[in-house]
Amino acid sequence: MSRTKTSLLAALALLSGTSAAALVSAPAGAAAAAAPCTVDYKVQNQWDTGFTTAVTITNNGAAKSSWSLQWSYAGNQRISNGWNAKVSQNGSSVTAANENYNGTLPTGGSASFGFQASYSGANAVPSTFTLDGVTCNVDGGPTDPGPTDPGPTDPGPTDPGPGGSKVANPYVGAKAYVNPEWSAKAAAEPGGSRIANQPTAVWLDRIAAINGVNGGMGLRAHLDEALKQKGSGELVVQLVIYDLPGRDCAALASNGELGPNDLDKYKSQYIDPITSILSESKYAGLRIATVIEPDSLPNLVTNAGGTNTTTDACVTMKSNGNYEKGVSYALDKLGALANVYNYIDAGHHGWLGWDSNLGPSVQEFYKVATTNGASVSDVAGFIVNTANYSPVKEPNFKVTDMVNGQTIRQSKWVDWNQYVDEQSFAVGLRDKLVAAGFDSGLGMLIDTSRNGWGGSARPTGPGPSTSVDDYVNGGRIDRRIHAGNWCNQSGAGIGQRPTAAPATGVDAYVWVKPPGESDGNSAAVPNDEGKGFDRMCDPTYGGNARNGNNPTGALPNAPLAGHWFSAQFQQLMQNAYPPLS
């Protein structure tokens, strides 16, 4: 897995203070439970020409297999797009009907959807809502904000205000979610309790993961647990969005369940249900950081034509446009939620660090963030080194170093790259992204879960000055055989612990790849997860063009990608840097 609108929110005016405010149609004092349905209509973000709204309907009557909510506006509000419902408008009248995945509405059940709209003048809340022709009652409201919304007059410690506008860096001032499933596996390992309390990302790597696989926790279970961990402070939940059609076209070990042409299935059965769950009002106080489709867009730049690393699968995905359309759709739908922060995967320095790759990559990122409904306001930042091993910093040499009149970029290891580590790459990439039109507040993430490279093999200073190769090879802490090697690397160690705002322009060091989870199987393993056998995970393989035809450096006896790999976990702890105490 090595291939791995000017900002709307930045321009928000002060919110109007309009919050949950559907009118009560029953007589004053009537019990809310007696109403056949309740509606919670919240303006989340409002600026001088537009607004976004979250709506939750609760059915208190007989169970439904489909539903349709209607209301009318008193002003000139015009809805431009919606999510998790089919929203249409005729004059001032609006209808929101269920999608195919959220039509079932049992007695006591709820469904949530949202939309974006324009307006001028006043933005009054609709006075009446009807569900399938029956008038509904109020749910919450400014005089009864309920347990999950402190209300417009009391924003509370975990709510930036009635609009829930996004913060500059979601990691600052916040705890991060500790996945109890990963934590239990780590704690069960000898010595694992030293890191079992660290936050790691939750990988939604197939449709079934949304509801939980083989009795495991689904998305709602993780979010409910996150609410418990949150307490009275702020908390970030990290989710990996990872199920594109034709996923990972250049790495068989992490292939996915969807075929190259399954874009509609990706939208309706994967992104839409995730968006629906995240938009539920009970989770509005959580900060959600999403890592958007590791490896996908970089593969379109480097492996989809014109190079010796081209694969037929990547050519197909570039030709049909479904990587781009899928990522744009995810950015659009998830980015519209006030508490979601999208970080697009941007490979690593050993993949995109050459100008010939980096320039086209920036163009590709901007294209995807500004087409198919997406905008740059949907992008909080980018992440580098996802599930990879490149160090945050190479302490013993810089890309500008010279040896005997030669630049170290001439060394076989650096190979004319403009960068030698991830932090310099992240900052350099950020500058180019902002120059290309992304928001100036763009933040970068660096995955440090397995890039520590400590232990007895860690060099303590530069190599000898006998040649550029000796200087670099003797001093580099990255002990891989080649920077293109990515699968279960021998000698790797736990890296920097998750940290908020460790450097200018860097939102956080994060553990996106949970230590101890395999990158891929070292021999063919039949499975129902769509995962193939990639020879880069085979320690006996002699390599290919993507790693300079070098040995893979992969550990033996590895299980399928994502499955627990005890031997790797023990190695990572042993070689941790900073060392574990």
β-bridge pairing 78-83 and 110-118:
antiparallel
Contact 201, 291 (CB under 8 A): yes
Query: d(Cα 388, Cα 345) in Å, to the nearest integer?
Result: 12
Q: How many residues does the chain have?
A: 581
Parallel/antiparallel/unpaired status of strands 37-46 and 50-59: antiparallel
Per the structure block, which two tokens stand in for 575?
Answer: 């070689």
CB 349 within 8 A of CB 287: no
> Rounded to 5, what percent of the chain is helix, strand, coil?
25, 20, 55
Asked if residue 4 lies in contact with residue 387, where contact means CB atoms within 8 angstroms, the answer is: yes
The pair of three-digit structure tokens given for residue 468, joined into one six-digit string: 């550029």
**DSSP, residue by residue, 469-527:** HHHHHHH-S---SSTT--SSBTT----SPPEEEEETTEEEEE--S-TTB-SS-SS----
Of the candidates 110, 128, 111, the residue with the CA atom closest to the CA atom of residue 24: 128
Burial class (CB in 10 A: 0-12, 13-18, 19+), 440: exposed
Which residue in 544, 512, 474 sits closest to 294, CA to CA? 512
Instruction: Kindly list the distances between the CA atom of residue 291 and the CA atoms of 189, 220, 315, 343, 374, in Å, as whole numbers in the listed order.
Output: 28, 18, 24, 5, 16
Q: DSSP string of 378-413?
A: G--EEEESTT----S--TT--TT-EETTEEGGGSTT
Q: Three-class SS of residue 321?
A: coil
211/124 Cα distance (integer angstroms): 37
Positions marked catalytic: 295, 519
